[in-house]
Amino acid sequence: MKKTITLLSAMLLAPLAFSAQQPQPVASVDKDGRSVTVTAPAVAVCASKFSAIVEINGKRRDLSSATGSLQPAVHSTESTPYGEAKVITSTIHFESEQLDLMLRLGQVQVLRSYDLNGRWFAVDNDCYYLAPDVKGAGKVAGGWPTVQTYASMMGLSSGAAFTSDLWNWDGFKPYLRMTEIMTPPAKERSEVIDLCTAEEWPRLLSKVQRPWGNWAVALLWNPTKQEQAIPLDFAKAGLDPEHRYAVWSFWDNRFLGIAKGQWVTPALPATGCQHLVFTDLDSQPGRPVVIGSSLHIFCGAAEIKNVNSTPTSIDIELTDAGAREGDLFVYSPKALAANSATGCTVKSVEAAGENVWNIHLEGRAINTPQKVSLNIAN
């Protein structure tokens, strides 16, 4: 009889114990073939069974490596972008279900810190959170301010990140957009402005350059335990101190105003931040310019493919990157109105400040050219 089998979830359930014995992270399948051990320097020793929840002909079954029949382990090698990997495959056979539960573990000898965008030690793989307080998952100390700062640091690093939040839980589903805005990583370089000049590093900034315009994405955050404001000196950040810059906030999803010479955040809570876009308004005076995007955490660097403007229109082409729904913000002295859209829907075009317009997008299609065309009033 033909079976209909659906994999509902698979996971490692990991009790932790502290240890500082290993010089670098090591993962291995134990001799019993039924559990995995991960050791990390000064962090943890993790020993866990592997398991899966499947649906067979409409009936749910829990499969665990602790039961079933162990098959001989298979050792092999395979090529990866980081070199040759040694792979061990451990299989547990379940006769009554006629199914195998299989774990493949590969290990590659690499440097402790990876090469990112041509620089060594640029990646410190870290964890971001979907939300600070989901029932049954514990709380993140610091709440939303900490969660947003963590995500901003991951996003501006343009590197690897992971989350341990369980996407299949109903409590996390309203927050999956946090992963959408991180995907895929941008390909920009971010600089730590205070590196080697101060004990704390509260200012990260990346200057994005494109044929249609240049802008800067900055993370200004409070590394202390007390509330404090964080200033950004434009000259020290490599911005023109004599030019006017539109200031747009990613986490607030709004236009904050126009600044010249410097920007000072409001008092930020401990680990709180402002994630900002600074767009030069004087480099192309009189022309409409994109000043913000809530679709991706790098605010236009990953999700905007091209911008073309004329005296009567502005066309914005998008990539597949980022969230399926969100906002584009355009600075234009003249009013904007929706003309047409391909691969997405323009839900609204509304005023969002003096000379600023918010274009709300929905239904961004995958693997389909996306283009938004706006009319400029005479």
Query: Which residue type occupies 306?
Result: N
pLDDT of residue 113: 42
Q: Is the separation of the CB atoms in 199 and 213 below 8 Å?
A: no
Whole-number Cα distances in Å, 4 to 8, 63, 361 = 13, 16, 38
Task: Count Cβ atoms below 10 Å from residue 79 Cβ, excluding itself.
Answer: 9
pLDDT of residue 117: 44
pLDDT of residue 8: 65
Q: Is the pTM of this model over 0.75?
A: no
Cα radius of gyration (the chain): 25
pLDDT of residue 136: 84
Q: Is the separation of the CB atoms in 224 and 249 below 8 Å?
A: no
Percentage of the residues of the chain whose pLDDT score is greater than 70: 85
Of residues 184, 186, 163, 185, the one with CA closest to residue 175 = 163
Whole-number Cα distances in Å, 220 to 152, 185, 200, 310 = 10, 20, 12, 35
pLDDT of residue 45: 56
Q: Is the separation of the CB atoms in 208 and 260 below 8 Å?
A: no
Task: Count Cβ atoms below 10 Å from residue 58 Cβ, excluding itself.
Answer: 7
Query: Which residue type occupies 55?
Result: E
Of residues 52, 54, 22, 59, the one with CA closest to residue 37 = 22
**Cα-Cα-Cα-Cα dihedral sign, residues 373, 156, 276, 130:** positive
Summarize pLDDT for 144-175 with one digit per residue, the tens.
999 999 999 889 988 767 787 888 899 999 99
In this structure, are strands 273-280 and 254-259 parallel, antiparallel, or unpaired? unpaired
Low-confidence ranges of the chain (pLDDT < 50): 13-23, 41-43, 110-124
Phi, psi of 259, rounded to the nearest 5 degrees = -125, 155
Angle, CA of 120, 124 and 129, to the nearest 5°: 150
- DSSP H helices, 47-176, are 143-157
Residue 343 tokens, joined: 């691969």
Task: Count Cβ atoms below 10 Å from residue 319 Cβ, excluding itself.
Answer: 16
pLDDT of residue 4: 78
Give me the sheet containing 313-318, strands edge to edge: 304-309, 313-318, 370-376, 336-342
